[in-house]
Amino acid sequence: MDKSKYFCRLLIFTKEGKDVFVLDRFKGNEKVSLEPWLGVVVSLADGQHTLGELVTYLARSYMGAPPPDLESTIESVVDRLVKSEVIKLSDEAVTLPYYLSIPAEEQDAEEARKQMVKDGYILQ
């Protein structure tokens, strides 16, 4: 895993308590539940941090030493999310559009919709 890559969301996400969901724009914004590890990575995929920073951040969240397989677990999660086109990797930092930058429940729905139409993310 190239830890110098930046990671960013490609789908709108929402949170309900500790649960994270992505919204499938091709199925009427159907909520798709994410496994806990996938949800953590998606919620942190703001385009402004590298995979190396992700590993460091998650390692620090453990009291004491992180599990020995933490890095391989993160690599597996990132690979799954990239393959399923939920996140992408970039050589440079990415500024996310409004509708991808914060959880759906924190957005102004009309403003998000306008920007999604303008960007071609959804059809009018």
pLDDT digits (tens, 9 = 90+) for 72-122: 999 999 999 999 999 999 999 999 999 999 999 999 999 999 999 999 998
Within-domain flag for 97: yes
Domains held by the chain: number: 1
Within a domain: residue 1?
Answer: no
Residue 85, domain extent = 6-119
With 0.95 as the threshold, say if the pTM is over it: no
Reported in sequence order, the residue ranges of 62-112 that DSSP labels E, i.e. its strands, are 87-90
Which residue in 93, 88, 53 sits closest to 71, CA to CA?
A: 53
Q: Give the span between the Cα atoms of 57 and 59, in whole angstroms.
A: 6
Query: Rounded to whole angstroms, what are the CA distances from 42 to 68, 77, 114, 118?
Result: 22, 10, 23, 24
Give domain status of residue 38, yes or no: yes
Q: Give the phi and the psi of residue 46 in degrees, each rounded to 5.
A: -90, 0
